[in-house]
Amino acid sequence: MPRSRLVCLLALALVLCVAACDDDATPMPDPLRIRQEPKDPATVRVMFGGDTMLDDLALPYLLKYGWEYPLASLQPLFARADVVAVNLEVPVVAHCQRDPLKKYAYYMKPAALTGLTGNGVRFVNLANNHFMDCGAAGEKAMLANLDRAGIYHFGGGLTSEDALRPLIVEIGDTKIGLIGLFGYKSVFDPSRGTAPANKANVRGLVAGLRPLVDVLIVTFHWGENYVAQIDDKQTATGRLALDSGADIVIGHGPHMPQAMETYRGKPLIYSVGNCAFGTGNDQAAEALLAEMEITGRKLTKVILHPLFTQNRNLQVRWQTRLLPPARARRFLEKWIGEAKGGGDLRLVDNRVELNLAGR
Q: Can you tell me the mean pLDDT for 292-308?
A: 99
Task: Tell me what pLDDT residue 19 has.
Answer: 35
Task: Tell me what pLDDT residue 98 has.
Answer: 85
Give the integer Cα–Cα distance in Å for 134 and 142.
9
The residue among 49, 109, 53 whose CA lies nearest residue 281 is 53
Task: Tell me what pLDDT residue 13 has.
Answer: 41
Task: Tell me what pLDDT residue 193 has.
Answer: 81
pLDDT tens, position by position, 110-128: 999 999 999 999 999 999 9
The CA-CA-CA angle for residues 219, 119, 355, to 5°, reads: 45
Q: Is the pLDDT of residue 83 over 80?
A: yes
Pick the CATH number of 27-355 from 3.60.21.10, 3.30.1330.90, 3.30.470.10, 3.40.190.10: 3.60.21.10
pLDDT tens, position by position, 325-344: 999 999 999 999 999 998 88
Task: Tell me what pLDDT residue 7 has.
Answer: 40
Residue 356 φ/ψ, nearest 5 degrees: -115, 5
Task: Tell me what pLDDT residue 189 has.
Answer: 57
Q: Can you tell me the mean pLDDT for 341-349?
A: 92
Task: Tell me what pLDDT residue 190 has.
Answer: 58
Task: Tell me what pLDDT residue 358 has.
Answer: 74
In whole numbers, what is the pLDDT of the chain averaged over residues?
A: 92
Element (H, E) at 303: strand 298-308
What percentage of the chain has pLDDT greater than the value 70? 91
Q: Can you tell me the mean pLDDT for 191-198?
A: 83
pLDDT tens, position by position, 235-260: 999 999 999 999 999 999 999 999 99
Look at residue 197 and give its three-state secondary structure.
coil
**Distance, first Cα to last Cα, the chain:** 53
Count of CB atoms situated within 10 Å of the CB of 63:
10
Q: Which amino acid does the sequence have at 101?
A: L
Give the integer Cα–Cα distance in Å for 247 and 267.
8
Task: Tell me what pLDDT residue 21 has.
Answer: 44
Query: Which residues are CB-contacts of 172 (< 8 A; sequence separation ≥ 6)?
Result: 37, 38, 41, 44
Confidence label for 72 from pLDDT (cuts 50, 70 and 90): very high
Q: Is the pLDDT of residue 274 over 90?
A: yes
Residues 190-210 as b/e (b if ≥16 CB within 10 A, e otherwise) read eebbbbbbbbebbbbbbebbe
pLDDT tens, position by position, 151-188: 999 999 999 999 999 999 999 999 999 999 998 654 44
Task: Tell me what pLDDT residue 170 has.
Answer: 99
Look at residue 221 and give its three-state secondary structure.
strand
Q: Can you tell me the mean pLDDT for 186-208?
A: 82
Give the integer Cα–Cα distance in Å for 12 and 44.
49
The CA-CA-CA angle for residues 78, 270, 170, to 5°, reads: 45
Q: How long is the chain? A: 359
Q: What predicted TM-score, i.e. pTM, was given to this entire model?
A: 0.92
CA distances from 21 to 26, 195, 241 (A): 12, 20, 18
Q: Can you tell me the mean pLDDT for 10-38?
A: 69
Q: Which residue has the higher pLDDT, 10 or 264?
A: 264
Q: Quick check: 180 and 195 in contact, CB under 8 A?
A: yes
Count of CB atoms situated within 10 Å of the CB of 15:
10
Confidence label for 17 from pLDDT (cuts 50, 70 and 90): very low
Give the integer Cα–Cα distance in Å for 226 and 102.
18
Task: Tell me what pLDDT residue 318 has.
Answer: 98
Task: Tell me what pLDDT residue 104 has.
Answer: 87
